[in-house]
Structure 1
């Protein structure tokens, strides 16, 4: 039944541990540190990133420098560094106090996603310009550019053993790469694979299978070694 005008309105209690305030636009990315249980990074449409500490309302560090929305964030596996990617085509590397360490340039379109190598300070980023870039975050050097996709590269990652790269695109293909040579080892496309653009990707812990999702509503499992669906 609808409440009568005389009924008391009881508001739900707020059980939030911590509310972050600082962004002035929609949020596009959030990342938690793998080594510090209270350290969180956020990024959004206000062209800003922030580092926060859960339960420490008086501590926040604004990450300034992007000129367009901060679309992706990722901490390195040792928790020492944070990478932010923006629709301005830049990847910025920060320490955990919010100090800018380097700006990585190259892509001609917005950054779709960022991943770190599981065993080192290598950054992988996919771009709207159909390319994937890999940098050494410690010295800012570009190590490789992976070209071949015919549309925006919407998802990707290193395999957990660090020996292979898998990327998915709006062009409805999965590409499997050699990170050292930049060679495209396999291109997975056509029947029985996806008929529309890939939206997400995850890799099994033994580095054997890539599981991909698509706009066509299907999920496929690909053998990374053979390229077979």
Structure 2
């Protein structure tokens, strides 16, 4: 067994070390102004982290007094923006014109959905009071107002080639109006839960709607007939949150609170494929978006999915931590 160090060896380790000029390797000059003052307070790490980031915005609109719930940009004027929020107000304003804003008056609850017509001439605003208002952009006047829904507006969509407007409601129904004539054309009934998402197909021939009842329904907009209902295993087990329709009007991509994605053949009502990536602890409710280039946000991690639809498989996935991507 090794002997412990002697008392003298411990003293040797504690001997003081002296340096003389021969041990100097390099002299570094300094300016006394570079030294900190005695009165200077140390900056904590927390204070450094709280320093604001650079503001790169080109315009700030401050008309709202509450949270913003929805934003829409004109398809024909890159400077024209509409916003709605929890202050029961909607505004139409222009980037670069801080002194101009037009208030979308008349709503009695949070303005939660906005949509411009495809030609940019009209704007639809929907509120939790169940009212949809149509605004003429050029004249800045209220063109017409639609009532009768028994619940708040979940979403609004325009026909791709006309002034037909579609809206889904918390009362399980979908309504379609002619905005030029101010008349109701169709009411779609059949869902057993809030209609959380929907749209016309790009060719304008069909309507697809998704609901909190975990079903996708495909409708004929002219007759109001429910052509297909997609539900049950292996489809979503919880409510749909959003959808996207392919440009050729043949497929719908739907997302659900159960964390799954499904691609459905709109013509047949049959599924192409389905994928479940991870359980969402805080699933989105509504007004979220998916597309055939999909971005899913879960907490601080973003998952970017590239999906090869025809081969029915996930082509590649990218993960990026702490910098969530928006949809």
Q: 2:208 aligns with which of 154, 166, 175?
A: 166
Q: Which moved more, 1:124-133 or 1:55-64?
A: 55-64
1:54 and 2:95 matched? yes
Residues 194/11 of structure 1: CA separation in 2 closer, same or farther (3 Å cut):
closer
Aligned to 2:43: 5
Paired with 1:224 and 1:16, the residues of 2 have a C-alpha distance of 41
What is the deviation of 1:14?
A: 2.0
CA-CA distance at 1:12 after TM superposition: 3.6
In structure 2, distance between residues paired with 1:140 and 1:112 = 20
**Aligned residue in 2 for 1:226:** 268
Residue of structure 1 equivalent to 2:121:
80
Separation in structure 2 between the aligned mates of residue 12 and residue 196 of structure 1, nearest angstrom: 39
Q: For 1:5 and 1:119, how far apart are their aligned partners in 2?
A: 60
Alpha-carbon distance between aligned partners in 2 of 1:192 and 1:4, rounded to the nearest angstrom: 60
Match of 2:162 among 116, 120, 136: 120
2:58 paired residue number: 17
- Alpha-carbon RMSD across the aligned residues, in angstroms, is 1.6
Gaps of at least 5 residues in structure 1 are none
Task: Find out whether 1:39 has 2:80 as its counterpart.
Answer: yes
Aligned residue pairs total 227
User: Are 1:102 and 2:140 matched, yes or no?
Assistant: no
2:214 corresponds to 1:176: no
Write 1 or 2 for the structure with the bigger share of helix.
2
Aligned to 2:26: none
Aligned equivalents of 1:117, 1:208: Cα separation in 2 = 17
Q: 1:191 to 1:16 in 2, by over 3 A?
A: same
- Quote how far apart the aligned CAs of 1:6 are: 8.8
Q: Which has the higher contact order (CA 8 A, sep 6+)?
A: 1
Secondary structure at the counterpart of residue 113 of structure 1: strand
1:173-221 per-residue CA deviation (whole Å, 9 max, x = no partner) reads: 0000000000000000001100000000110000000000000000000
| Structure 1 residue aligned with 2:195 | 153
Question: Could you tell me how far apart the structure 2 residues matched to 1:150 and 1:25 are?
Answer: 32
Residue among 220, 230, 248 paired with 1:206: 248
Where in structure 2 are there 5+ consecutive unaligned residues?
1-40, 272-327
Match of 2:172 in 1: 130
Aligned match of 2:229: 187
Equivalence for 1:69: 110
In the TM superposition, residue 69 of structure 1 has moved relative to its aligned partner by: 0.5
Could you say which structure has the larger radius of gyration? Answer: 2
Separation in structure 2 between the aligned mates of residue 26 and residue 140 of structure 1, nearest angstrom? 31
Query: In structure 2, what is the Cα distance between the partners aligned to 1:74 and 1:32?
Result: 8
